[in-house]
Amino acid sequence: MQKIIDRFVKYIKIDTQSDPNNSAFPSTEKQWDLAHILVNDLQEIGMEEVSLDENCYVMATLPSNVDFQVATIGFIAHLDTSPDYSGTNVKPQFHPNYDGKDIVLNKEENIILSPSYFEDLLLYKGQTLITTDGNTLLGADDKAGITEIVSAMDYLIKHPEIKHGKIRIGFTPDEEVGKGAHQFDVEKFGAEWAYTMDGSMVGELEYENFNAASAKVIINGKSVHPGYAKGKMINSILIANEFIASLPQNEIPQETEGYEGFFHLHDIKGDIEKTDLEYIIRDHNKELFENRKTVFQKAVDELNIKLGSPLVEVEIKNQYFNMHEQIEPVMHIIHIAEEAMKIAGIKPIIHAIRGGTDGAQLSYKGLPCPNIFTGGHNFHGRYEFITAESMQKATEVIVNISMITARKAKRN
C-alpha cells in the first residue's frame, strides 16, 4: 500500500490542469510533464510497447502470459485535472486511522472537511485518508486512476503466476474539457474492450452517462451615456438576466439527481455592450436531451422576437452521448467487472454517471468502455479526498478483471 501512496503523491504534485479556452491539443503544455514521467515509470516496471504520441496519449502493453487465445482488454485514465480549481502546488495531508471526526484542512482560513456535511467520510473510518490542504484540489480525478492502473500492471509483472491475456493501458489528455477521446487511436490501442478507471465511491460500476452538449450564448447590447440613455441604451447584462430566467428554474444541477437532466450556467462574463453565457446541457434520455436543446434554442428565438432584433446569438455543440447503447450488446464485460469486485470483497454499485468519461466517446468509436471506481470523493475542489485502501482495492479489481478474462477464455 505504501508504494501506491508514494506513486499517487508523485503524480498529484505535477500540475496538469487543462484549459477549456485553448483549442490546442493538448490544451496545456504541462500535461506533457506527467506524460513523460509515466513513460519512464512504465518502462521501469517492465511494460512493453510504451509510446507517447504527438497528441500526448500514453499507451503501453503487458503481453499475455498464457498459451491460449484471450481477448485483449484495456484500462484507461486521464492525465489532466479540472480547470475549475487550482491544481498548482498540491500539498496532500495524511490522516492515518481516520477517526470519523472533523478535519481541519486550513486553520488560518477555517476550512474544515466535516462528516456532518460530507457523510461519505464515515465510510472510511479506520483507513488512511488523504486530503488537500484547503488551497487546491487533490487530483485523485484522475491521478488515482493512473496510480491504480500502473500499480496493477506492476503487480501482474511481479506475479507471473497470475494468468492473463494481453493488456493495453492508455492515459489521455484533456478529458476534463471534453476532448480526451478526440484523438485517441482505437485501432492502435487494439483492445476488444476497456475500462476507464475514473469513477468515485468504492464499488461504482457505470455504463450509463449523460448525453451532453455545450451552449454559448452571446448577447449584444449598446452603450451610451446613462444620463441620455432613454430609448438608446441596450443593456446586454439585463437581457442576459431575462434569458437565464426564461429557462426552467428547477432544472439545474443543485435541484436534480439520478436520471434527471439539467441546464447548467457555469460561466458568465459581460458588460453593457456584450455578455457571454456558457452552459452545459445534460440528460440521460436521448429524446429528452434533444428536447432540452430545442427548449434552449426556443428561449433564444423568443427573446429575439421580443427584442425586435437578433441581439441574442447561440451556438450549441454536442459533446458526447450515453454509452449505454454501445455497452448493452456486450454485457459480459460488465459481468466480469462485477465478479472482479465481489472477489475483492466489494459490493458492486451500478448506477448512471451524472457526468461523462472518455469511455462514453470511446464506446461510440468502437471501444466499449464502462467506468470503474477509483475511490475518490468530492472531485474538482478543495474538499476532495481518497483513502489509500480504496486505491488498493481498485488496483485489486484491475488484477482480478485481467485474471477472470483469461480464465473465462480458457473455459471457452
pLDDT digits (tens, 9 = 90+) for 332-360: 999 999 999 999 999 999 988 887 778 88
208 is catalytic: no
Q: Does the pLDDT at position 405 exceed 90?
A: yes
> How far apart, in whole angstroms, are the C-alpha atoms of residue 103 and residue 112?
6
Please give the residue range of the domain that contains residue 305.
211-319
Residue with cell 495524511: 94
Confidence of residue 104 (pLDDT cuts 50, 70, 90): very high
pLDDT for res 178: 84
> How far apart, in whole angstroms, are the C-alpha atoms of residue 197 and residue 230?
58
Residue where one domain finishes, among candidates 288, 319, 350? 319
Say yes or no: 22 and 97 in one domain.
yes
Q: Residue 64: CB partners within 8 Å, gap ≥ 6?
A: 70, 164, 165, 166, 406
Say yes or no: 300 and 372 in one domain.
no
**Per-residue pLDDT tens for 35-78?**
999 999 999 999 999 999 999 999 999 999 999 999 999 999 99
pLDDT for res 41: 98
Longest CA–CA separation in the chain, Å: 85
Say yes or no: 357 and 375 in one domain.
yes
Q: Does the pLDDT at position 389 exceed 90?
A: yes
The torsion angles phi and psi of 134, rounded to 5 degrees, stand at: 90, -5
Say yes or no: 353 and 229 in one domain.
no
Contact 73, 191 (CB under 8 A): yes
276 is catalytic: no
Burial class (CB in 10 A: 0-12, 13-18, 19+), 64: middle
Say yes or no: 141 and 288 in one domain.
no
Residue where one domain finishes, among candidates 268, 299, 319? 319
Cis peptide bond prior to 26, omega within 30° of 0? yes
pLDDT for res 371: 95
Name the domain count of the chain: 2
216 strand-pairing partners: 278, 315
Concatenated DSSP letters for 3-60? Answer: HHHHHHHHHHTS--B--TT--SSSS-TTHHHHHHHHHHHHHHHT-EEEEE-TTS-EEE
Percent of the chain that is helix, strand, coil (3-state, to 5): 35, 25, 40
State the average pLDDT for the chain: 96
> How far apart, in whole angstroms, are the C-alpha atoms of residue 175 and residue 117?
29
Say yes or no: 191 and 53 in one domain.
yes
Strands (E), 226-320: 262-270, 274-283, 312-320
Say yes or no: 21 and 166 in one domain.
yes
Q: What percent of the chain has pLDDT over 70?
A: 100
SS3 134: coil
> How far apart, in whole angstroms, are the C-alpha atoms of residue 81 and residue 17?
5
**From 41, 80, 206, 384, active-site residue:** 80
> How far apart, in whole angstroms, are the C-alpha atoms of residue 76 and residue 374?
12
Say yes or no: 26 and 117 in one domain.
yes
> How far apart, in whole angstroms, are the C-alpha atoms of residue 175 and residue 66?
34
Residue with cell 436534480: 256
> How far apart, in whole angstroms, are the C-alpha atoms of residue 332 and residue 355?
23
Say yes or no: 163 and 225 in one domain.
no
Contact 185, 55 (CB under 8 A): no
Strands (E), 72-153: 73-78, 93-95, 103-106, 111-113, 129-131
Residue where one domain finishes, among candidates 319, 339, 362? 319
- Stretch 259-273: mean pLDDT, rounded? 96
**From 15, 175, 176, 358, active-site residue:** 175
Say yes or no: 77 and 124 in one domain.
yes
- Which pTM value belongs to this model? 0.87
Say yes or no: 132 and 51 in one domain.
yes
The CATH number assigned to the domain holding 264 equals 3.30.70.360
Say yes or no: 23 and 129 in one domain.
yes
Question: Residue 139 to residues 172, 201, 399, 404: CA-CA distances in angstroms?
Answer: 15, 15, 23, 30
